[in-house]
Amino acid sequence: MHILVTGGTGFIGGALLPELVGRGHCMTVLTRGKYSDSASIRYVNDLDAIEGKVDAVINLAGAGLAARRWSKGYKREIVDSRVGLTQHLVSWLERQQSRPGLLISGSAVGFYGQSLTDVFTEESGPGKGFSAELCRQWEVAAQTAESFIPQVVLLRLGVVLDHGGGALQEMLKSFQLGIGSWLGSGNQWLSWVHRRDVVNAICFVLETPGIQGPINLTAPKPVTHGELCGVAKEFKWTFFSAGMPSSVVRLLMGEMADELLLNGQRVEPQRLQQLDFVFEYSDLRDALANILGR
C-alpha cells in the first residue's frame, strides 16, 4: 500500500514507519522539516507534492500537548496543528480523483474529560475542558471525510510509553533526579499504552477490513498515578515518600496541570478487545520491564 502519514517524524512515527516498511508498504510523510528520502519513504512539505494514488492515510500531526505551558498562543497552535491540519487534509482528499479507502486519524483519551470513578468506553460521550473540546473538534474534522472515504477510524490514544520520548522520558528524568513522586492525590487514572501496541493496533486496523469509528488505544489495565509510582519503585527509582501537592503542580504547570496531570480518565479498549486484538503489554509491570530492559 501507499500510505500518507502526517506527524510521521514524531515519537509514534519513529516506531510505526520502520514497521510499515518491514510489512512492504511505501509511505509519503507530510512534514514541516527537511528529511532525506529512502527507498520506501518520501518526505513532502505540501500535500500537492504527493505522487501517485494514496491507499490509506494515517493522520498523527500535532503540536505537543505537554511541550509548553498553555498560553493563549500555544493553545491556538495546539488546535490549528490538529483541527486545522485535519480540515486541510480532508479537503485535499476530497479533491482527489482517486481517493484512499481508509483514514486513521489521531485523537486522545482526553476526549472523555476527567473522572476518578467513571469507566470510559467508545460509547461514552465527550467530556469537558480544553483537551476534551480539542479532541472532539479533531474527530469532527476527520469525520467530515466519512461522506467520501469508506473507513474513517479515530484513534483515542492513551499515554504512550516507550524509551526515547513521550511521557516516560519526562518521568524518567525526574525519577533519576530523585524527585519522582505521584502528583496531587495519586488517585487520578493513567490510561497508558506501550508504543509497540500502538504500532500493532494501527497495523491491525490497516489489515482488518471494515473497522470504522472511534477506537480506544489504551492497555486493558489502566493504573492510578499512585500505582504507577508503586510499580516504578520496584524498578528502584527514587521517590519522595509523599506525593507532590496539587498546589505546587498547578504553580509549576499552570492550567495544563489540572487536565493532564492532576486528573485523568479510566479508559477501556472495548472495541479492540471485541475485535480480538491481542495486546503484547496489558500489564504496566511487563511494559516497564520491556522498556527499561529488565
Ligand X SMILES: NC(=O)c1ccc[n+]([C@@H]2O[C@H](COP(=O)([O-])OP(=O)(O)OC[C@H]3O[C@@H](n4cnc5c(N)ncnc54)[C@H](OP(=O)(O)O)[C@@H]3O)[C@@H](O)[C@H]2O)c1
Query: Could you tell me which stretch among 20-28, 97-105, 154-162, 245-253 binds ligand X (CB under 6 A)?
Result: 154-162
- Piece of 28-36, 90-98, 125-133, 230-238 that binds ligand X (CB under 6 A): 28-36
**Which of 32, 72, 236, 294 contacts ligand X by CB under 6 A?**
32
46 versus 238: smaller Cβ distance to ligand X: 46
Contact residues for 162 (Cβ-Cβ < 8 A; gap 6+): 11, 15, 168, 194, 195, 196, 291
Q: Is residue 11 a contact residue for ligand X (CB under 6 A)?
A: yes
Tell me which stretch binds ligand X (CB under 6 A): 77-85, 91-99, 243-251, 259-267.
77-85
Among 160, 201, 206, 211, binds ligand X (CB under 6 A): 160
Strand partners, 107: 156
> Interaction with ligand X in 235-294: which residues (CB under 6 A)?
none
Question: 238 φ, ψ to 5°?
Answer: -95, 140
Q: Does 63 bind ligand X (CB under 6 A)?
A: yes
Looking at the chain, list the stretches that DSSP marks H as alpha helix, in order from N- to C-terminal side. Answer: 11-22, 72-79, 85-95, 130-143, 166-176, 195-207, 225-234, 246-253, 256, 270-274, 284-291
* Smallest separation, CB 200 to ligand X (Å): 15
Q: Does 222 bind ligand X (CB under 6 A)?
A: no
Query: Which strands sit side by side in the sheet containing 26-30, from one edge to the other?
Result: 41-44, 26-30, 2-6, 56-59, 102-108, 151-157, 213-217
Q: List interacting residues with ligand X (CB under 6 A).
A: 7, 9-13, 31-33, 60-65, 77, 81, 85, 106, 108, 157, 159-160, 166-167
